[in-house]
A and B are shown apart, each in its own frame.
Chain A
């Protein structure tokens, strides 16, 4: 294939890759390295609140002084204070549980969409995708309207005489799960739909003709064929939920924090940038395997993508 790139003959091809490349190096890779560096630094009273300072003006000597002053103190703090460990474990638990709930709820919806008459499908797709475009914050706020003590849910429950005393829904794990499932449902449904929609329905018919019961056909045919969609949906939900901040902050209790809240507190309230950076690095290490897995799925040959 001939390459059509602006000014390809003038070495323009290199410019095309260089501009976004440099942008990403300066605004993604280098910032990330700074986080690593600061996670190895000490809090100081001065602004910005950390030492040592890398003084490249002093050349090699500067670099050596700098390296000698780095320390793993922040990491040993994270390892020794159970507050952090509890936050990480809690985040992973909540993310795993939310992902399971999302799969249980999302699969029937995606399946229904994929089996709906063809001409309805674009409209259904749009209806599920639309909330994904609208603000996260607004959708969480909508649930506060409903879940607060004198909110609609409790009014409804009292009207139906299902409860006498209005229960407190907010500041609970239930509210966090509702918020997670609600916010991430499109992320689960859309990849599932994409893989289910491509499935050849005659395979199910063949299974039925050969006397396979419906639930077995589902288990042996539908599920394996939609596996790529399941994996994509699970990763797209699990990874960001582990690092979620807004949902547990607004709907959960302040007693038990997820790791995103801990990071936020260290950074904005305690102003301890080095510890906040170490928390971020450990969080990234936890998520590295699923992130790399997701990347491999995305960069694979697009023709075989879900």
Chain B
């Protein structure tokens, strides 16, 4: 490997500075004692205290966490089944439609997905609220899980499973005691990605939500439209910290190959 050139070092430094400077500013200003964003009045945790007294915000946070946990879990199960079907079943009737339906949501504008799901919920007369958001998020995020698990399955050594089968292990047991442990890193990162996608989603949640199920992004969005507020800086900092810590922890557990898969799945 050559010595890094000045140009390469500079482009990495500038690129990372561009990516992180705004986040650093936001975090620092969440600890500003002054209400005004323009004036720095020393460090303070005042806005975090205010946040704890904001009942509506806390309720939204609780709704969001429940939606994210439930939909990520459902998406991991569905996405894993879909990945197994794509990798292990070879050609089956309707495979083209199936893989089309798995890959399309990854790039399709969220607005269209949100609108379509809302119209479905209205057509079947479902009460919009907690469950409709959860189902909508499951549909979106299961596709991301499928991509991650599929890539892991493709790189799996089939002889391990064959050995278990040859030794008389039933297929179900082979799946649970050989395949699942082998794809566990992919399941973990898939769940994590589904969880953060659900946590962040504004557009699909706006379409599919109903009374009593205002998620955190929806509440933050309506506050942001009115301008910058230190309380919002504080809640954003907390969300960044939660996601950041979780992602770094998962990445320490899983192999870098999985991380690259996520990136490619985009």
Residues of A within 8 A of B (CB): 1-9, 12-13, 16-17, 19-21, 23-32, 34-35, 38, 48, 105-106, 108-109, 111-113, 115-118, 122, 124-139, 141-146, 148, 150-152, 155, 182, 185-187, 189-191, 193-194, 201, 232, 235-236, 239-240, 242-246, 250, 260, 263-264, 267-268, 273, 276-277, 280, 283-284, 287, 290-291, 294-295, 298-299, 302, 305-306
Contacts and interface: CB of A to CB of B under 8 A. Distances in A.
B12 to A, nearest CB: 4
10 contacts: A3-B89, A5-B88, A34-B123, A129-B259, A134-B243, A135-B200, A135-B239, A190-B263, A243-B111, A264-B111
Contact of B247 (A133, A148, A152): A133
B104 A129 contact: no
B167 interface: no
Given A137-B202, A250-B225, A240 B22 contact: no
Contact of B244 (A35, A105, A130, A260): A130
Contacts of A9: 171
B102 A277 contact: no
Query: Which secondary structure characterizes the binding site on chain A?
Result: helix
Contacts of A190: 260, 263-264, 266
A112 B9 contact: yes
Contacts of B209: none
Interface residues of B, number: 109
Contacts of A243: 108-112
Given A185-B15, A250-B225, A306-B264, A273 B119 contact: yes
A5 B175 contact: yes
Interface of B: 1-2, 4-5, 7-12, 14-16, 18-20, 22-23, 25-26, 29, 37-38, 78-79, 81-82, 84-85, 88-89, 92, 94, 97-113, 115-117, 119-120, 122-123, 135-136, 138-139, 142, 146-147, 151, 154, 158, 161-162, 165, 171-172, 174-176, 178-179, 193, 196, 199-200, 202-203, 206-207, 217, 220-221, 224-225, 227-228, 232-233, 236, 239-240, 243-244, 247-248, 251, 256, 259-260, 262-264, 266
Contacts of B94: 21
A245 B115 CA distance: 13
Contacts of A189: 15
Nearest to A108: B11
A182 B23 CA distance: 11
Contacts of A302: 151, 154
